[in-house]
């Protein structure tokens, strides 16, 4: 993650308003109205309200929110499957909203591929031809695209099922096909729209692992839409939490859980096992004399639950937080319990600005 590179997606003041004469809403006094009043006065619904964010290269950017919060509309705006009402939107620095049909098609073909909640597979094609579909659209020859597709079928773990039809596959397998189809075009960014919501919990877990694995292996940039908080925390490098079309908080999982921006977010993350999300870097305190010599050493990114395990195993009072041999701080029983209980100023003092 080099700091200097241009963001993959750069979104500024993006609006999507559905309804009659939608373009008058952004920027007017109507923009300030709550959703119900806006609908009553204009017949319009603001699905995305004044949203700004950057997606950095190589990260998994999760957009999370309940249904109706505008997250699915937002991700569709990124490739203009839904035309945004106003705002600016750039991919790798290039203005997406200024693209003509041809250029936009190129964007969809080569730079951003999407995985859908309901898979969107073509029922009359085999698995192999579904995976090859994106390449076919690009005009690749039959042998070439099939070879490439076979490779990806293998990669997502569907080897041997190439000649099946989508209707003969389980939900998880169908989504693997969807994933392979998106990967086949080798896009610079992958967009996921609630890809695992329609799956059983066990399969969902398995598919999440698959995404984690893919991300680790290829380091591909991903934008991931979900309504499932645990999924967001599991996958996200950063999370944008949406409500009523706007972003309520944007930060790392640790920031979202550790220092919720408002009551809505706090309510949202209330049941999250905090010790599994927060790191010792958040929980630590400055060492007092003598504490810097003994005790187990931890990375700053280690979670609190790992620290609890380390401390209780060592039997000592503290664990040291070390970064490249440099002592950053220590965590003792009190620090760690504060995190678990969600109390104490240890966290409040270190609140991260959004």
Partner 1 sequence: MATAQATTRTASGPPGKGALAALRERPALAKILALLVVAAVAVPLAHARWGGGVWPGALTVDLSGPLGEVNDWIIGNRDSHPLFLYFFGHISNAVVLSVRGVYLALLALGWAGVTAVAALVAWRTAGWRLALTAGLSFLLCGLLGMWVPTMQTLALMVVAVLVSVVLGLLLGLAGGLSDRTFRVLRPVLDTMQVLPAFAYLLPVVLVFGIGVPGAVLATVVYAAPPMARLTALGLRGADPGVMEAVASLGATGRQRLLSARLPLARKELLLGLNQTIMMALSMAVIASVIGAGGLGDRVYQALSSVDVGAALAAGIPIVLLAVVLDRTTEAAGRRIGAEPTGPAALRGARGWGLAALIAAAVAVVGRFTGGRIWPEGTVVPIAEPVNTAKDWMVDHLYTGVPVIGGTADWAAHFTNWVLNPLRDGLQGLPWWAVLLIVAALAWTIGTWRTAATAVLAMAAIGVLGVWDLSMDTLSQVVAAVAVTLVLGFGIAVGAARSRRLERLLRPVLDVFQTMPQFVYLIPVVALFGVGRAPAAAAAVVYALPAVVRITTQGLRGVDPAAMECARSLGATSGQRLRQVQIPLARPALLLAVNQGVVLVLAVVIIGGLVGSGALGYEVVFGLAQGDLATGLVAGAAIVCLGLMLDRVTQPTTRRQRKES
Binding footprint of partner 1 on the chain (CB under 8 A): 79, 81, 104-110, 113-114, 116-124, 133-134, 136-138, 165, 167-168, 178, 181, 185, 191
Smallest distance from partner 1 to CB 44, Å: 18
Task: Look up residue 285 and give its DSSP letter.
Answer: B
Smallest distance from partner 1 to CB 73, Å: 12
Smallest distance from partner 1 to CB 84, Å: 16
- Placement of tokens 């993350």 in the chain: 269
CB closer to partner 1, 224 vs 268? 224
Calculate Rg over the CA atoms of the chain: 23
Helix ranges restricted to H, 236-332 = 253-258, 263-268, 280-283, 304-314
User: Reduced to 3 states, what is the DSSP secondary structure of residue 333?
Assistant: helix
CB closer to partner 1, 180 vs 265? 180
CB closer to partner 1, 102 vs 326? 102
Q: How far is residue 7's CA from residue 282's CA, in Å, rounded to a whole number?
A: 27
Smallest distance from partner 1 to CB 144, Å: 17
CB closer to partner 1, 63 vs 283? 63
CA torsion through residues 231, 233, 238, 244, sign: positive
CB closer to partner 1, 119 vs 268? 119
Q: How far is residue 205's CA from residue 109's CA, in Å, rounded to a whole number?
A: 29
Smallest distance from partner 1 to CB 277, Å: 32
User: Reduced to 3 states, what is the DSSP secondary structure of residue 204?
Assistant: helix
Smallest distance from partner 1 to CB 247, Å: 23
CB closer to partner 1, 114 vs 235? 114
Q: Which residue, among 77, 130, 128, 72, has the nearest Cα to 107 in the 3D structure?
A: 77
Alpha carbon 110 to chain centroid, angstroms: 21
């Amino acid at each position: 993650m080099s700091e200097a590179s241009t963001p993959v997606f750069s979104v500024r003041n993006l609006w999507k308003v559905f309804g009659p004469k939608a373009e008058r809403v952004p920027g007017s006094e109507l923009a300030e109205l709550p959703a119900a009043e806006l609908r009553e006065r204009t017949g319009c619904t603001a699905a995305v309200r004044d949203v700004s964010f950057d997606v950095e290269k190589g990260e998994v950017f999760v957009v999370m929110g309940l249904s109706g919060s505008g997250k699915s509309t937002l991700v569709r705006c990124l490739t203009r499957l839904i035309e945004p009402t106003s705002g600016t939107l750039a991919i790798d620095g290039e203005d997406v909203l200024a693209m003509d049909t041809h250029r936009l098609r190129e964007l969809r073909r080569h730079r951003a591929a999407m995985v859908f909640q309901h898979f969107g597979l073509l029922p009359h094609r085999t698995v192999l031809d579904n995976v090859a579909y994106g390449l076919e659209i690009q005009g690749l020859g039959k042998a070439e695209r099939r070879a490439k597709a076979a490779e990806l079928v293998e990669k997502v773990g569907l080897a041997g099922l190439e000649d099946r039809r989508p209707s003969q596959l389980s939900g998880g397998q169908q989504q693997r096909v969807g994933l392979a189809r998106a990967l086949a075009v080798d896009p610079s960014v992958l967009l996921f729209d609630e890809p695992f919501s329609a799956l059983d919990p066990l399969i969902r877990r398995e598919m999440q692992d698959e995404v984690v694995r893919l991300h680790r292996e290829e380091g591909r940039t991903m934008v991931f839409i979900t309504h499932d908080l645990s999924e967001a925390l599991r996958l996200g490098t950063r999370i944008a939490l949406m409500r009523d079309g706007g972003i309520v908080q944007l930060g790392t999982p640790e920031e979202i859980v550790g220092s919720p921006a408002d009551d809505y977010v706090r309510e949202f993350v209330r049941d999250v096992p905090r010790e599994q999300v927060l790191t010792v870097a958040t929980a630590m305190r400055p060492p007092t004399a003598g504490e810097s010599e003994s005790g187990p050493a931890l990375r700053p990114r280690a979670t609190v639950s790992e620290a609890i395990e380390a401390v209780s195993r060592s039997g000592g009072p503290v664990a040291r937080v070390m970064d490249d041999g440099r002592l950053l701080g220590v965590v003792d029983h009190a620090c760690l319990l504060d995190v678990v209980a969600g109390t104490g100023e240890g966290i409040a003092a270190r609140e991260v600005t959004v």
